[in-house]
Chain A
Amino acid sequence: MSRTTLATVTRAEFAKFRTARSYVIGLIVLVVLFIGMGTLISGLQNVRVSDHHGGFTASEFDSTAFALIGYFFAQFAGGVIGALFVTSEFATGSIRTTLAAVPRRGLFVIAKAIVVTVIVGIASEIAAFVSFFAGTAIQPRSAFDVVANKVVDLPIASLSGQGVLRAVLMSGLYVTLLTLLGVGLGLIVRHTAGTISIFVGLIFIVPLISLALPTGWQQGLDKILPSNLGQSMIAISQPANSFSAGPAALLLGAYALGLLLLGYVLTNRRDV
């Protein structure tokens, strides 16, 4: 006797992710951006330290951050994958076919979230580790420090270093949570272009608006912006006015969960 359960719906959504080209391409773009930008920026450090007129000091050299910088680019691919996985259903009208097969809309929302979390989560974590190893492998080992006025060894990060493993894991987690943010926004907005615009605005535009606010507000807002939470999650030593990695991840997770919940409530109430 067949039954529609979370397991069957999740299996179906997995199949849908694998069998549409757009999501698979999105996933490849995500991984390529993550690893590509991390190794590119790491490699460019060789040029930077060899430029003696640049006034390089070893204290500016953050090996982990350079190797993981790709997360910042990958988050957009993640957001697009998450948004598209939902909005394409509305754009093509397939949402009616989907919800006629799965009328309990909570199952539909949870299954979408599970599939995206697992697929993008695994891809992002793999990309984070590959990017970390590739990046640190090609970073310069020594450089002329203008303050010390001599050639010094540069601190290349290793996974056993203080907070390094956490940073690598968190960079993948960040991209995954941003993808879930895309899913939640997609459920709420239902239109692809609108969803992606809001997503990009949240990462790029809101921080700019924050600059125009009174200092007290600005500090309050900056602290809780998704992009700054990401920096907090990945930083080895926390910058001023920011959460430490754990609470930052929890808050970002709460954002994603909140949007998914709102998305569910609206999806459950609306006609399709």
Chain B
Amino acid sequence: MIEISHLTKTFGDVTAVHDLTFSVQPGEVTGFLGPNGSGKTTTMRMILGLHRPTSGSATVNGKNYRDLAAPLTEVGALLDAKALHPGRTARHHLRALALSNGISTSRVAEVLNIVGLSSVADKRAGEFSLGMSQRLGIAAAILGDPGILMFDEPVNGLDPEGIRWVREFFRFLASEGRTVLVSSHLMSEMQLTADRFIIIGRGRLITQGTQDELSVHVRSTVRVVTGDNDALAALMTQRGWTLEREGDGLHVTGGSARDIGALAFDNQIAVYELSPLNASLEEAFMELTAGEAQYTGKVQEA
């Protein structure tokens, strides 16, 4: 279990993480979401004792990371797949890590096999593609068979096959009762992997919850096209539903397709089109984090 309590980190006068409080439970995959620069990596570094919190605390299994007797056997982390000496082979890289924590070196061949890198174990890590490096980073994370696993943007550079494997692997790790925290800036990716979400923006917690709990943020809109849009619009406004005119139709929020159809029928308005426009969790995420993105690009009109 990972517990974050009022965690704050400032770099000079920039606040990277602000008063963050959440916990990550065992037995499920928790998605850690936020736009680039929202403080996900900084938070993970503080959990690993790499960054010192300005205030607040981050503990793993109730202890400060620095107090763990053999850290790799309790927490495995993949922060940056390229954070290794490029001249060392995959096998030697893992071997040195195993030695440092007194982990049996026979485990090295095992984890290389699990991530599918056995055939390139004696190639220098600098020659690896980003996808292969991610696999090596995952191998390093599971080296000590830890109960807590953290992965920072693990699908970057993976091919579709690799992405599917990672997804299933994370679910498998969680099903074994492990705590799995996976960061991403893509809700569409996490939606398929995570049971629970923690969403941050500009270092602050925006919301957290299960997929169902988050779907209350999902506005469902219904598109309706009728023979007399104006009449229907008046009736719907009376009921307190909000609407927008879109082309030859209306986009209605507040009433379901069933409600709208019934209302039109009761008032003898011909309905030509009636379709629910279900917003995805992705759109909810975009909406929640709108204005929280640190770096936003604009499309210039020519």
Contact = CB atoms under 8 A, between A and B. Distances in A.
A89 B50 CA distance: 14
Interface in B65-83: 65-66, 68-73, 75, 77, 79-80, 82-83
Contact of A96 (B50, B69, B88, B103): B50
Interface size class of B (residues with CB under 8 A): 35 or more
Contact of B92 (A13, A19, A102, A271): A19
Given A97-B84, A101-B72, A103-B65, A16 B96 contact: yes
B71 A5 contact: no
A92 B84 contact: yes
Contacts of A272: 50-51
B52 A103 contact: no
Contacts of B80: 93, 96
Given A19-B89, A100-B77, A4 B70 contact: yes
Nearest to A24: B87
B83 A20 contact: no
B53 to A, nearest CB: 10
A4 B71 contact: yes
A93 B101 contact: no
A271 B45 contact: yes
Given A5-B102, A96-B83, A101 B71 contact: yes
B99 interface: yes
Contacts of B88: 16, 19-20
Interface string A12-30: 1101100111100000000
Contacts of B100: 4, 8-9, 11-13, 98, 101-102
A88 interface: yes
Contacts of B79: 96-97, 100
Interface string A92-117: 11111111111110000000000000
B85 interface: yes
Contacts of A11: 99-100
Nearest to A105: B66
Given A15-B99, A104-B66, 9 more contacts: A2-B102, A12-B96, A13-B96, A13-B100, A16-B85, A94-B83, A100-B50, A101-B101, A103-B71
Interface of A: 1-5, 8-9, 11-13, 15-16, 19-22, 88-89, 92-104, 269, 271-272
Interface of B: 45, 48-52, 65-66, 68-73, 75, 77, 79-80, 82-89, 92, 95-97, 99-103, 140, 144
12 contacts: A4-B71, A8-B101, A20-B87, A22-B87, A93-B82, A96-B48, A97-B83, A98-B100, A100-B77, A102-B71, A102-B100, A272-B50
